Amino acid sequence: MALTNTQYESIRQEYANRRINSQKLLDERTKEIYEKLPEYKELDELTATLSVQHGKRVIMGESDTLDELKDILEDLNRQKKLLLTSAGYSVNYLDPVYTCPYCKDTGYIENEKCHCHKQAILDIMYEQSNIRQTLLDVSFDDIELDYQTGDDQKRLENAVEKAKEFVKNFKLDYQNLMFYGTVGTGKSFLSNCIAHELIEQKYFVLYFSSNNFFNRASEAYFNKNNSNDGNFFEDIYNCDLLILDDLGTELTNSFVESQLFACLEERSLHHKSTIISTNLPMEELRDRYSDRIFSRIISNFDVCKLSGQDVRIYKKRLNNRK
């Protein structure tokens, strides 16, 4: 898993803001109670005075007064609670209010990340992936092999097995996958399933349609002073998994070729995994992009061909018959 420093800082700042807001709310409630119940303020001041006096006695070696102070403070606390409830307030009205009561908005419990901190990291992963909503509805369990037959079904079975092995061995092996073949045979769905599984494991996954990817690359490259795009190339070169969906749907030119080659080269050097899906046959992929790009893909990617009928159209026809 890899978050950028900026992303970690955003999480840290969120917890800081929670604590500030909690303290602000407590200050407002305390002011309200002091104004409506002056007796409560007097008891609070007495509690503080006695605590200071006891501290001085401890410093002077008079620690035998601890039990006496404890009894006095408990009595004062009972009086304060009685004042609150008598005035119609909750007994806990002046307790701190935390978004997460488990870690008290620190993000940690005994040096371990609280569940809320882990969820904050996961939320960033989903947002960065560009497919947050899509991922909520995909699973390897939803893959239906019966829509294909013969060799088409065998190819789908092989691709599913490759995808599952990719997830299973992701932490252990550097690996790349390419799904290619006809429209509607499950290429994007398999990529989504892999992304879903790895993001759930808190890996940093970025998912782009080909058009979106090269548009973002163009914005980042030609607007280098734009702070919003400052981390784009850092992210695509270093994220745990980069998925490029529908390669070949973009308008191919020298800029696209140079950015695709740079991306593949940098990720290979960093041993960062990449998944590519495309409707292009191998011959057209070779003709559309440079020899060096085609060579990188063929030599560094496990290539899975998918074929058969468009499942989406087939399902639509079935639904229309009902």
Average pLDDT over the chain, rounded to an integer: 85
pLDDT tens digit sequence for 58-84: 777 666 666 777 888 889 999 999 999
Weakest mean pLDDT among 97-106, 125-134, 175-184, 195-204? 125-134
End-to-end CA, the chain: 46
Highest mean pLDDT of the ranges 73-77, 177-181, 218-222, 288-292:
177-181
Q: What's the CATH architecture for 130-321?
A: 3-Layer(aba) Sandwich (3.40)
The answer to whether residue 300 scores a pLDDT higher than 80 is yes
The answer to whether residue 322 scores a pLDDT higher than 60 is no
- Residue type, position 37, single letter: L
* Domain residue ranges of the chain, discontinuous segments joined by +: 5-101, 130-321
| Average pLDDT value for residue range 141-169 | 89
In 10 A of CB 319, how many CB atoms?
Answer: 8
> CA 16, CA 110: separation in Å to the nearest integer?
18
| Measured CA distances, 247 to 16, 58, 181, 215 (Å) | 42, 74, 12, 13
Contact 198, 166 (CB under 8 A): no
- Residue type, position 149, single letter: T
pLDDT tens digit sequence for 112-139: 888 888 778 767 766 665 566 666 678 8
Provide the b/e sequence for 259-287 (b: ≥16 CB within 10 Å): bbeebbeebbeeebbbbbbbbbeeeebbe
Residues in CB range of 300: below 8 A, 6 or more apart: 176, 264, 268
Contact 271, 174 (CB under 8 A): yes
Question: What per-residue confidence (pLDDT) applies to 66?
Answer: 67
> CA 16, CA 24: separation in Å to the nearest integer?
12
pLDDT tens digit sequence for 212-236: 899 888 888 887 655 444 567 888 8
Question: What per-residue confidence (pLDDT) applies to 161?
Answer: 94
Question: What pTM, to 2 d.p., does this model score?
Answer: 0.63
| Average pLDDT value for residue range 306-311 | 82
The answer to whether residue 18 scores a pLDDT higher than 70 is yes
pLDDT tens digit sequence for 91-103: 999 999 999 999 9
Question: What per-residue confidence (pLDDT) applies to 228?
Answer: 46
Q: For the chain, how long is the longest CA-to-CA vector?
A: 91
The answer to whether residue 180 scores a pLDDT higher than 70 is yes
199: exposed, middle or buried (C-beta count within 10 Å: 0-12, 13-18, 19+)? buried
* Helix residue spans in the chain (DSSP H): 5-36, 38-59, 66-86, 115-129, 132-135, 150-168, 187-200, 210-222, 232-238, 254-269, 282-288, 291-300, 311-321
